[in-house]
A and B are shown apart, each in its own frame.
Chain A
Amino acid sequence: MLLIYNRPGFLEELSEQERTALFGEVEAIMTELSESGELVGGAALADPSLTRTVAVRDGRPAVTDGPFLEAKEHFAGYVSVDCETEERALEIAARWPDVKYGGYLEVRAIMQDSGTEM
């Protein structure tokens, strides 16, 4: 799972040309992943200002506006891939354009139901 973190609003600061290039790069990677059969799923998330956070306080659900954590970077979306190796997943993450603009990609393994007797 590739978790995409970026600074909300960074897109608006880019020039038209940079924005077009960025979306083009994302599209190129997504096309490549779907053609190679490595793409399992993914989604982009709405702006963090639309986030609602749910917690339980005194036994009652409490709903607040805004993301759970105050942070410069926010969780912006995810891509789930099925790759031959971890190196390949890291390579895909490194090409994600957000990384160039100060964002981060976190690469996490997904837990499986399978296992061997040890």
Chain B
Amino acid sequence: MRTPPAVEDLLRDLAPQVLGTLVRRHGAFDACEDAVQEALLAAAVQWPGEGVPENPRGWLLTVATRRLTDQWRSERARRDREAAVAADEPAEPGPDEHRAADRDDTLTLLFLCCHPALSPSSQVALTLRAVGGLTTAQVARAFLVPEATMAQRISRAKQKIKAAGARFAAPPPDERDERLRAVLHTLYLIFNEGYTASSGPDLRRADLTAEAIRLARALHRLLPGDGEATGLLALMLLTDARRAARTAGGGLLVPLTEQDRTLWDPEQIREGAELITDALTWSPPGPYQVQAAIAAVHAEAARPQDTDWPQILALYRVLAHLAPNPMVTLNEAVALAMVDGPSAGLDLLRALDGDTRMEGHHRLAAVRAHLLEAAGDAPAAREAYRDAARGTTSLPERRYLESRAARLNEGDSDGKA
């Protein structure tokens, strides 16, 4: 389907508002979600040719309500509900009507799509469809699975929400923090799926980073006083700013320290840095904020050798305290190596050797390889690069790691290009 970008953006903005209104009025999230999908498809077909209606939100609401009514009319057992829907047929709402309700509805939708009864991949799929306004085919393409697979995943997710008895209401106060964390994590997963794939032949998945940023912006607008929502948006912007520099010809990955920094997007860096600098003045730091702060420190350095590694090390230590996990320790070891030398970094890595969470994980071998190379131990570095190359399921990573190993030929002990 070829829809002009302006129409597509408008539809994606309106999708959660229309769905939220519909579910609030009629309940039955799954039926309403189907009806909204049909209304969005109808709009995507009609609007580019016939022009966008004066009240696009009202148009979508009317069409979706009609679909819902049709659906219920065909089900005898729903006769009573049908009467209620018919009585509720929307008068064309004014453009500013329901504005506050729309905002709450979008947030409630996000909470519902990230319901704890759902697996992370279902949360992602449902969020992209219900809040992001993507079609099943688009979600399936982004995750490289057949459309039938994604359709099943989404319909299963909707059934699970129904079975869990989730009502369309904000979660109770004692669950709110945990649910918000799930929402942030889901948006983070969507971003990573797009970002790690934004190289090579799968450019279409770069759309996912844009979608994740759009959703994170929406969340930030809904919760401007939430430091972590702000931090996540900042982290996405600062990371995505490096997109053009992170791959070289043939989809080969370029490490941060070797990237051409003139290719970094200054506008995204400026916005991300402003957001995170501001948030840290009024919010207690959380993991997304600290990661955004680290990304901002990298972005500040015009050349890799200008990087303020002591500050990055300090931030990783904060992160290790807030959200300890082996990946944080890995990154902390890199920063420590930059401050105190590679052997200090290698010492810290030894702490991970017995960690079952890192078993067979190629990132540990990859970091060790880099540090061994920096320490001048070419044979050990080569072995570690090869270990890491065998451990990854990513083709670009394997190519990168194999080429690093190949560079460290016998007798070429410094190896550094």
Contacts and interface: CB of A to CB of B under 8 A. Distances in A.
Interface of A: 34-41, 82, 84, 109-118
B241 to A, nearest CB: 13
Contacts of B366: 118
B79 interface: no
A115 B152 contact: no
B397 interface: yes
B394 A35 contact: no
B71 interface: no
Contacts of A82: 121, 143, 145, 149
B251 interface: yes
Nearest to B153: A37
Contact of A37 (B120, B152, B200, B398): B152
Q: List the 8 closest pairs (A to B, CB-CB), nearest first.
A: A37-B153, A115-B394, A114-B197, A115-B396, A37-B152, A115-B397, A114-B196, A109-B393
B246 interface: yes
Nearest to B369: A118
B253 A117 contact: yes
Nearest to A88: B119
A39 B253 contact: no
Contact of B152 (A34, A114, A116): A34
Contacts of A35: 152, 156
A118 B121 CA distance: 25
Contacts of B370: 118
A38 B119 CA distance: 12
Interface string B140-177: 00010110111111101000000000000000000000
29 contacts: A34-B149, A35-B152, A35-B156, A37-B149, A37-B150, A37-B151, A37-B152, A39-B149, A40-B149, A84-B119, A111-B393, A112-B393, A113-B251, A113-B394, A114-B193, A114-B196, A114-B197, A114-B199, A115-B199, A115-B394, A116-B253, A116-B394, A117-B242, A117-B253, A117-B255, A118-B255, A118-B367, A118-B370, A118-B401
A35 B400 CA distance: 38
A36 B149 CA distance: 8
A116 B253 CA distance: 7
Contacts of B259: 117
A14 to B, nearest CB: 31
Interface of B: 119-122, 125, 143, 145-146, 148-154, 156, 193, 196-197, 199-202, 205, 242, 246, 251, 253-256, 259, 363, 366-367, 370, 392-398, 400-401
A36 B397 contact: no
Contacts of B254: 117
B371 to A, nearest CB: 12
Contacts of B242: 117
Nearest to A41: B146
Nearest to A84: B119
A34 B367 CA distance: 39
B294 to A, nearest CB: 15
Given A112-B197, A118-B363, 17 more contacts: A34-B148, A37-B156, A40-B145, A40-B146, A82-B121, A109-B393, A111-B393, A111-B394, A112-B394, A113-B394, A114-B396, A115-B394, A115-B395, A116-B253, A116-B394, A117-B253, A118-B253
B357 to A, nearest CB: 13
Contact of A114 (B202, B256, B363): B202
Nearest to B245: A117
Find the residue from A35, A110, A112 having the highest chain B CB count within 10 A: A112
B228 to A, nearest CB: 22
Given A34-B152, A40-B146, A41-B146, A113 B397 contact: no
A109 to B, nearest CB: 4
Nearest to B257: A117
B397 A118 contact: yes
A115 B193 CA distance: 10
Given A35-B156, A115-B199, A84 B121 contact: yes
Contacts of B246: 117
Given A34-B152, A117-B253, A84 B396 contact: no
Contacts of A41: 146
